Amino acid sequence: MKDFKNELVELLNNKKAKIGILGLGYVGQPLALRYSALNYKTIGFDVDETKVAELNTGHSSIEHICDDTVKAAIENGFEATTNFDRVTECDALILCVPTPLNKYREPDISFVTRTTDMMAPYLREGQIVSLESTTYPGTTEEELLPRIQHNGLKVGEDIFLVYSPEREDPGNPHFNTQTIPKVVGGHTSECREVGVALYEQAIDKVVPVSSTRAAELTKLLENIHRAVNIGLVNEMKIVADSMGIDIFEVVDAAATKPFGFTPYYPGPGLGGHCIPIDPFYLTWKAREYGLNTRFIELSGEVNRAMPEYVVNKLMDGLNKHQKSLNGSRVLVLGIAYKKNVDDMRESPSVEIMELIRDKGAEVSYSDPHVPTFPKMREHSFDLHSTELTPESLNNFDAVILATDHEKFDYDLIYENSQIIIDSRGKYRGKNGKVIKA
C-alpha cells in the first residue's frame, strides 16, 4: 500500500509541493504570496475573472498588498486561474472563501460548499485539503468530508483533511501571515500531521489541536471574545455619555491596571468579516443542541444598535442648530471598517450612510483609502470620495467621524465643520461643535 501521508509530508518539507489557494481575497492573496515567496509553485483559484486577470498582470486591488510583491510572485511561478480542473496539479488545496450571514442572520456557507463541489471532481490521492474560512463547529466533517470522499477517496489514508482558521488582520503593521500563529486541527491524527507540515514551512508557529471541531470553535471564541467586550464598552459608552463622563478617558485610566483588564474602545458598530458575523455562527449551531447563547446574542444586539445611536446623535446635533436631518447635507468620514485600510466588509459606516439617506438627507463620504464606493452585495451608493477642503467641509451641515484614518487632517476638519459627530474619541476635550457618539 502506498504511503501517501509520508510522501506528501516530504513534498511539503522539501518545498516541492504545489500549493493551490482557492479564493483570492483578503485571506487568500497574502497566503498565496507567502508560499510563493518560499519558492513553492503556487496557483490561485477564483471565479472572479477580473481579479484573476489583474493578479496575472502583477496588480492587486487590495491596498496593503504591493504590486511589486505580486510581480515577484509571478516571477517565482505564481499564476491565478478560473480553471478548476487544475486542482489535480496541486498537492495542497487551501480554501479561503467568504462565510457571510444571510438576511435572516444565519450562516451562509454556500461559498464553501460550491467551491468544494467545483474542486471535488479533480481531487486525487496524495492531496491535502485545508479549510480556512470561519464557520461553525462541524462544518469540515459535515460538509467537506462527504464531498471529498464521494469518489472513493479515504480521508486519513489517500487524502487528508484539516481545518486551520485564518487570522489575517489587514493593515496591522505588527503582524502578518508569517508571524501570526496557526491553529491546525485534522480529521484524523494523520491529517493533522500533514496539516502541520503544510503550514510549518510558511508560519513561524503552528498550534495543533485535537480535531477540526476544536479548531473551528477556537476561531469563534477568539472573535466572540472581542465582540462581547466591544459590546460591553459600547454599552458603557451610552451610560457614560448620560452621566457626562468621557468613556475614552475611563478606558485609558482603567488600562493602567497592570493585570486583569484589557482595553477595548467603543465605536459606531462592528465591522470586518469576522467580529460582526462569527458570534451568530455559534449561536445558530448551539440551537441544534438546545442551547441559548444569551450573553453572546445580547452583545450582538448592543453592537448592531450603534449605527442608529450615531444617527440619533446626529439628529440631536442638527436640532440644536434648528435643522432637521431631512434635507440636510451630511458627510461621513471613513467608510472602511477600521482605520488605515480599504476593507469595506460589514462596515458600520455604510449602515450609517443608509440610515441617513433613508431619513431624507443628502449623504456623501470622504475616505482616502476608498476613492469610489465599491460594488457590494447588499449596499449601493453611486458616490466618489469627497476631497476635504475648507470650502467642501463648509458646505455640509454636519460631519460624522466614523473611521479615524491617520490620513485625515483633523485640524482642518475641526476648523471648517459646522457640527462633528465623533464616534471615535478623536476630538476628546473639544467642546461646542463636537458631539460625542
| Domain closes at, from 180, 200, 219 | 219
Q: Does residue 54 share a domain with residue 166?
A: yes
With cut-offs at 50, 70 and 90, classify the pLDDT of residue 84. very high
In the sheet that 420-422 helps form, which strands lie side by side, from edge to edge? 362-366, 329-333, 398-401, 420-422, 434-436
Percent of the chain surpassing pLDDT 70 = 100
Q: Does residue 132 share a domain with residue 33?
A: yes
Does residue 272 belong to any structural domain of this protein? Answer: no
Q: Does residue 319 share a domain with residue 212?
A: no
Q: Does residue 349 share a domain with residue 207?
A: no
Tell me phi and psi for residue 329, to 5 degrees.
-105, 120
User: What length is written for the chain?
Assistant: 437
Q: Cell match 443542541: residue?
A: 289
Q: Does residue 329 share a domain with residue 215?
A: no
Percent of the chain surpassing pLDDT 90 = 89
Residue 278 has pLDDT above 90, yes or no: no
| Domain closes at, from 164, 192, 219 | 219
Report pLDDT digits (tens) over 29-72. Answer: 999 999 999 999 999 999 999 999 999 999 999 998 999 999 99
Give the CA-trace dihedral at 172, 200, 198, 345, to 10 degrees. Answer: -10
Find all residues with CB under 8 Å of 431, minimum gap 6, and list them.
none
Does residue 372 belong to any structural domain of this protein? Answer: yes
Does residue 376 belong to any structural domain of this protein? Answer: yes
User: Mean pLDDT throughout 189-194?
Assistant: 98
Write out the H or E segment, with its range, that includes residue 97.
Answer: none
In the sheet that 182-186 helps form, which strands lie side by side, from edge to edge? 79-81, 41-45, 18-22, 92-95, 127-131, 159-163, 182-186, 206-209
Residue 148 has pLDDT above 90, yes or no: yes
| Domain closes at, from 219, 243, 275 | 219
The predicted structure's pLDDT at residue 171: 78
The predicted structure's pLDDT at residue 173: 84
Does residue 66 belong to any structural domain of this protein? Answer: yes
The predicted structure's pLDDT at residue 77: 95
Q: Does residue 213 share a domain with residue 337?
A: no
**Cell, residue 121:** 471532481
Q: Return the closest-CA partner of residue 110 out of 121, 120, 119, 100.
A: 100
Q: Does residue 214 share a domain with residue 310?
A: no
Q: Does residue 43 share a domain with residue 180?
A: yes
- Measured CA to CA in angstroms, residue 212 lies from 34, 189, 197, 260, 377 at distances of 24, 11, 16, 31, 30
Residue 121 has pLDDT above 90, yes or no: yes
The predicted structure's pLDDT at residue 136: 95
Identify the domain containing residue 173 by its residue range: 4-219
Return the active site residues.
Answer: 274
User: Within a 13 Å sphere around the CA of 31, how many CA atoms are in the beta-carbon half?
Assistant: 34
Which one has a higher pLDDT value, 267 or 150? 267
**Cell, residue 188:** 484524523
Q: Does residue 323 share a domain with residue 186?
A: no
Query: Total structural domains in the chain?
Result: 2
Q: Does residue 340 share a domain with residue 212?
A: no
Residue 96 has pLDDT above 90, yes or no: yes
Residue 380 CB-density burial (10 A; 0-12 exposed, 13-18 middle, 19+ buried): exposed
HEC states along 285-344? HHHHCCCCCHHHHHHHHHHHCHHHHHHHHHHHHHHHCCCCCCCCEEEEECCCCCCCCCCC
* C-alpha–C-alpha distance, residues 99 and 96, integer Å: 9
Please report, for the chain, how many H helices and E strands are present, in that order.
Answer: 16, 13
**Cell, residue 342:** 480599504
HEC states along 116-177? HHHHHHHCCCCEEEEECCCCCCCHHHHHHHHHHHCCCCCECCCEEEEECCCCCCCCCCCCCC
What would the DSSP string read from start to end of 333-390?
A: E--SSSTT----TT-HHHHHHHHHHHTT-EEEEE-TT-SBPPP-SS-----BPPP--H
Q: Cell match 450612510: residue?
A: 353
Q: Does residue 209 share a domain with residue 61?
A: yes
Does residue 98 belong to any structural domain of this protein? Answer: yes
Report pLDDT digits (tens) over 379-421. Answer: 889 999 999 999 999 999 999 999 999 999 999 999 999 999 9
Q: Are 29 and 65 in contact (CB under 8 A)?
A: yes
The predicted structure's pLDDT at residue 47: 96
Count of CB atoms within 10 A of residue 64's CB? 17
| CATH code: domain of residue 28 | 3.40.50.720
Report pLDDT digits (tens) over 215-247. Answer: 999 999 999 999 999 999 999 999 999 999 999
* C-alpha–C-alpha distance, residues 96 and 165, integer Å: 9
Does residue 408 belong to any structural domain of this protein? Answer: yes
* C-alpha–C-alpha distance, residues 403 and 423, integer Å: 8
Does residue 203 belong to any structural domain of this protein? Answer: yes
